A and B are shown apart, each in its own frame.
Chain A
């Protein structure tokens, strides 16, 4: 009897203990800094202007400045375009790749490696290689396009219409293989007869994917969408290498803008406010996404 109580008491506290290490590290290195950014976002502090060096409380002043700044609107537009352009397409490609390599044929492992290897490469190196590929005239990307009959503009990193597209192409190339992995897992988990029915035979291929495979992979898709969305906000290395956010801000996205405010313009208050905005956007999206994906499940 006594033993029972002891055990149930342990059981009461144990889950908290088990979560504690993760909780502690997340608190210390993610949540606390976020709160500190929130706090600093209510102050004006610009390190490169002597009289604004010490923080002064200005309430929501930084937020007001941000939302009334036409540059910020441009940056938001770019970010939105970047997300709409990269997230669905890389997920779609990830799905296609998964379908292609989820077969029992020879050398399929090599094809998996081919699609996945981009995940391994550091973005800085990959982007620098792409910088060469985008070279007008003889860069491989342009040569390949020309071979396909493309005769449009080639100034990928210098033209205001193409620069954002260029960094998006690199991001899609880099990420699709990562998402493939999750689809592959999902596909292999499908009930075999169903999966075979949705296989690669005959005229109803697309219909079967549409009405069988995709619905069954719904949770995978939501999970990947979340990761892809977060990735789209978090990765800017390729922008540094390829375009420096230019020409004329054409490829400046939210995190790059934040970076400029913080480290080029030394505006602590404004960049803290931007951090808060960035985190809020991600939070709203992710929570909505998880709500949708967890709906109808008994756990959590």
Chain B
């Protein structure tokens, strides 16, 4: 009896607390409040870094309040924004989303072209000029500029320099040298591999594959927004090279490798001599590895050529919100891409600084002098092609992944797979031709 009364009472109290907490009034804000949707991952303490910038920005602009909303990964941010707009809600003023989302966001009418803002700023032209060229590849569409690079990365090859030195090998400068180095560095205990030459993740394969195609002189996309070159002989050859790394050289495990999460750890713990991964993992690798970590772009097919591809997120300004908010958001964009801030962001987070000016700052110069790998990573951007972005990207990328993985897993030959991918992709982009 007492127990029952007690639980009833407890229930009532709990119910009330719940209701109270739910109904707590929201804080009143200053004249303009803008929201920034920001994807977070385990990368660096990005949230803390970003909150620091917001504080500084608000000091400089007391009438603007910036609220950062950290909503899971890139996918979650996109989902949240789509749901908000589709459900009749107000989008945030600003969001960091994938650079490759460009066409979808423009076609859906979600984002605002930045040209008026750029033109209105006295130094607008110079501001745009300063961004690293390969980071601007996915910002233009329909003769307009739609996004500002911010949290950017690139595909790199990391290697264990100690293993290379032990084996008397130089870092590879061509596909053949790469395969052979991988072969030489693979170690076996009777039949079981105890150390791979190369780990090359392919669970979400287009991004890491692109440098192979670019390194053979043919990117998988062209100049047009509905143009892909999946069945180009050079692309097919690049697919074949990935397969050869395991089949011909035995330098890598066979088939699709869903090892994005493990690869950096594997390099750090000596399970593999080389990995292909994002520049974003550099800081952790340097922290974990007790050997010299080598950093370079991916070797191209012919000796002395290299390739990479950029990745990561850009800042997008949303349409259909108050102009005051858009103005404030643009101010914040400009604030974030000041060279000093870009340099600081790069040093703290491990992402690239988006503009050339940042690399001219004293802090950045000093940092690069202390960490030569950062400069080596930066150099990869000079040989980077454009990241895969076309109209109807979700579907076309799905098609490419589907067939690329079939080729990797030996279900289809490289040529068959890419021919099928090309045909399906062309059909999926029919509406844009």
Contacts and interface: CB of A to CB of B under 8 A. Distances in A.
B108 A47 contact: yes
Contacts of A264: 394-395, 398
Contact of B202 (A158, A242, A249): A158
Contacts of A265: 392, 394-395, 398
B109 A53 contact: yes
B141 to A, nearest CB: 11
Interface string B398-431: 1001110110110100000000000000000001
B257 interface: yes
A157 interface: yes
B108 A155 contact: no
Contacts of B271: 137-138
Given A155-B253, A260-B398, A265-B394, A244 B403 contact: no
A243 interface: yes
Given A246-B256, A263-B75, A47 B203 contact: no
A155 B340 CA distance: 45
Interface string B88-111: 000000000000000110011100
A248 B402 contact: yes
B29 interface: no
B392 A48 contact: yes
Given A244-B204, A268-B86, A48 B108 contact: yes
Contact of A266 (B394, B409, B431): B394
B82 interface: yes
B301 interface: no
A263 B82 contact: yes
A137 B193 contact: yes
A186 interface: no
A248 B405 contact: yes
Contacts of B2: none
Interface stretch (B129-137, B146-154, B258-266, B290-298): B258-266
Contact of B78 (A131, A132, A160, A263): A263
Of B79, B262, B391, B432, most A-chain CB atoms within 10 Å:
B262
Contacts of A138: 271
Contact of A157 (B193, B258, B408, B432): B258
Given A47-B104, A49-B431, A158-B202, A263 B79 contact: yes
B107 A49 contact: yes
A266 B401 CA distance: 18
A155 B262 contact: no
A48 B394 contact: yes
Contacts of B402: 246, 248-249
Contact of B409 (A51, A135, A160): A160
Contacts of A131: 258, 261-262
Contacts of B233: none
A248 B403 contact: yes
A119 interface: no
Contacts of B171: none
A36 to B, nearest CB: 11
A163 B202 CA distance: 14
Contacts of A155: 253-258
Question: Which of B103, B109, B395 neighbours the largest number of chain A CB atoms within 10 Å of its CB?
Answer: B395
Contact of A248 (B109, B394, B411): B411
A52 interface: yes
A244 B201 CA distance: 13
A136 interface: yes
Interface string A64-95: 00000000000000000000000000000000
Contacts of B391: 48-49
A159 B257 CA distance: 8
Contacts of B203: 157-158, 243-244, 246-247
Nearest to A139: B262
Contacts of A243: 203, 258
A61 to B, nearest CB: 15
Given A158-B258, A158-B409, 20 more contacts: A47-B82, A47-B86, A47-B104, A47-B108, A48-B391, A132-B261, A137-B271, A157-B258, A158-B203, A158-B256, A160-B405, A160-B409, A246-B401, A247-B202, A248-B401, A248-B411, A263-B75, A265-B394, A265-B398, A268-B86
Interface of A: 47-53, 128, 131-132, 135-138, 155, 157-160, 163, 242-244, 246-249, 260, 263-266, 268
Interface of B: 75, 78-79, 82, 86, 103-104, 107-109, 193, 202-204, 253-259, 261-262, 271, 391-395, 398, 401-403, 405-406, 408-409, 411, 431-432
5 contacts: A48-B391, A49-B107, A132-B261, A135-B262, A160-B411
